[in-house]
Structure 1
Amino acid sequence: MSTATLRLEEIVITHDGHPLIEVSASVAPGEVLTLMGPSGVGKSTLLAHVAGFLPLGFRASGHILLGDSDLGCLPPEQRRLGLLFQDPLLFPHLDVGGNLAFGMPAGGSRRQRREEVATALDDIGLAGFAERDPATLSGGQRARVALMRVLLARPRAMLLDEPFSKLDTGLRDEMRRLVFARVHRDGLPTLMVTHDRADAEAAGGPIIEL
């Protein structure tokens, strides 16, 4: 379980020299901070900056701190952030088990890794799906696999970019419960971008209107 707080200290992002977004915030372990606002205001750009993928044409200042780590000094692959998008983005050339194992930390025997994948699938109601082709899964099943793939990578914090927007109403409620329960249980400080106020209400954390 993570005990690190995510802190955004005087983050300022500009685009071609023009101010786009200014944010200072602190996200406690297991807390979800929701960023809301109209398209083009810079919500997803802020997530990209935290993840280390700020697009060309943008510049950022300030500090991103996770526990004792200054993430701004680290390349994206060393930041250990879990990214969940509106599209599951499963690898089509890997079966479901291969997708889940892809981001798992190195170490352990092949048998141990298979057992961990099997336990993870059982946790999300997909026991026995390890050898399934991702193309044969429903939208809700793909979303659950994408979430578990992120969690198996042992992230220290989560970034959610409109993660429920492409799900129908029933699946949206199910995935909200699943995602936020795991975030709270694992103590992951989480930044979520959404247009849907119901997402923010389900998350139960603070909201920043941009």
Structure 2
Amino acid sequence: MTLRLDEVQVHHKGEQLFAPVNVSIGAGEITTIMGPSGCGKSTLLGAVAGNLVHGFKIVGDIFLNGRRLNDMPMEKRRVGILFQDDLLFPHLDVFGNLAFGLPQGLSRTEREEIIVHNLKRAGLEEFIRRDVATLSGGQKARVSLLRTLLAKPEAVLFDEPFSKLDKPLRASFREFVHEQIAFLAIPALLVTHDFEDSCGGAVIELRQNPQLAGDMNA
């Protein structure tokens, strides 16, 4: 599996937000996007995910496993995204949250088998019926990642997923993320302000168009 960005830019009101991005991310690899606040990092992820705000325009080509994504609706891209907030459903327990990410058509037994298997991999099998409000920050982050991965995306985008965790939890969750991406052999693009999050992988420095400084937020 490969996620490829060829001369990808995002324009707003005719202005180019950042220099063209060229990257090819292979199976199990994580490429990190870094840069100052406001340079367009999250906007770049939006371009890949297909949820750019109205008024923004993609220039260049985005390919995922040979499919050109530019004109595809978000729901058909097979791209998962994880934000710094866990966005778990408070009215559902851990099982319900994870079941939400599974494909349609599975029996309850099949869903439970899949969920139990994945919770074991995350070391959270005893939490299957827990109210998500009772989970720690690190546990919520892992459940949120599992829900994203259970949808079987062909690529995953991470928008500062470690930023709200304290240092020990950040290191543990970072390791878990890298393990899961390697295990599933899918490409991933990670936005962060912390170089340690790259774990030695490829890093792209994104620089904002100086003419737009102060006008845009990443």
Q: CA deviation at 1:180?
A: 0.3
Q: Distance in 1 between matches of 2:128 and 2:28?
A: 29
- Residue 168 of structure 1 is matched in structure 2 by 166
- Residue 140 of structure 2 is matched in structure 1 by 142
SS of the counterpart of 2:190? strand
Q: Distance in 2 between matches of 1:185 and 1:111?
A: 24
* The one of 100, 120, 123 aligned to 2:121: 123
Q: CA offsets per residue over residues 37-86 of structure 1, 9 Å max, x none?
A: 00010010000110000112211111110112111232111111121111
Q: Distance in 2 between matches of 1:32 and 1:99?
A: 25
Task: Pick which of 106-115 and 37-46 moved more.
Answer: 106-115
Task: Pick which of 191-200 and 18-27 moved more.
Answer: 18-27
Quick check: 1:13–1:59 contact (8 Å CA) kept in 2?
A: yes
Task: Pick which of 16-25 and 27-36 moved more.
Answer: 16-25
Quick check: 2:58–2:70 contact (8 Å CA) kept in 1?
A: no
How many residues end up aligned between the 2 structures?
A: 205
Instruction: Report the RMSD for the aligned CA atoms in angstroms.
Output: 1.1
- Residue 93 of structure 1 is matched in structure 2 by 91
Q: Distance in 2 between matches of 1:108 and 1:127?
A: 20
Q: Which amino acid aligns with 1:209?
A: E
SS of the counterpart of 2:86? coil
SS of the counterpart of 1:158? strand
Structure 1 runs, 4 residues or longer, greater than 6 Å off: none
- Residue 207 of structure 1 is matched in structure 2 by 203
SS of the counterpart of 1:125? coil
Higher relative CO (CA 8 A, sep ≥ 6), structure 1 or 2?
2
Quick check: 1:118–1:128 contact (8 Å CA) kept in 2?
A: no
* The one of 1, 16, 19 aligned to 1:19: 16
Q: Distance in 2 between matches of 1:36 and 1:85?
A: 15
* The one of 100, 108, 113 aligned to 2:111: 113
SS of the counterpart of 2:129? coil
* The one of 30, 44, 47 aligned to 1:46: 44
Task: Pick which of 128-137 and 146-155 moved more.
Answer: 128-137
SS of the counterpart of 2:125? coil
Query: What is the identity percentage for the equivalent residue pairs of Structure 1 and Structure 2?
Result: 54
Quick check: 2:93–2:132 contact (8 Å CA) kept in 1?
A: yes
Runs of 5+ in structure 2 lacking a partner?
207-218
Q: CA deviation at 1:123?
A: 1.4
- Residue 213 of structure 2 is matched in structure 1 by none
Quick check: 1:82–1:157 contact (8 Å CA) kept in 2?
A: yes
What pairs with 1:62-101 in structure 2 (closer than 5 Å)?
Answer: 62-101=60-99
Quick check: 2:3–2:64 contact (8 Å CA) kept in 1?
A: yes
Q: CA offsets per residue over residues 15-39 of structure 1, 9 Å max, x none?
A: 2221102212111111111110000
Q: Distance in 2 between matches of 1:105 and 1:6?
A: 22
* The one of 186, 196, 204 aligned to 1:188: 186
Q: TM-score, normalised by structure 1?
A: 0.94
Q: Distance in 2 between matches of 1:30 and 1:130?
A: 27
- Residue 157 of structure 2 is matched in structure 1 by 159
Q: CA deviation at 1:108?
A: 2.7
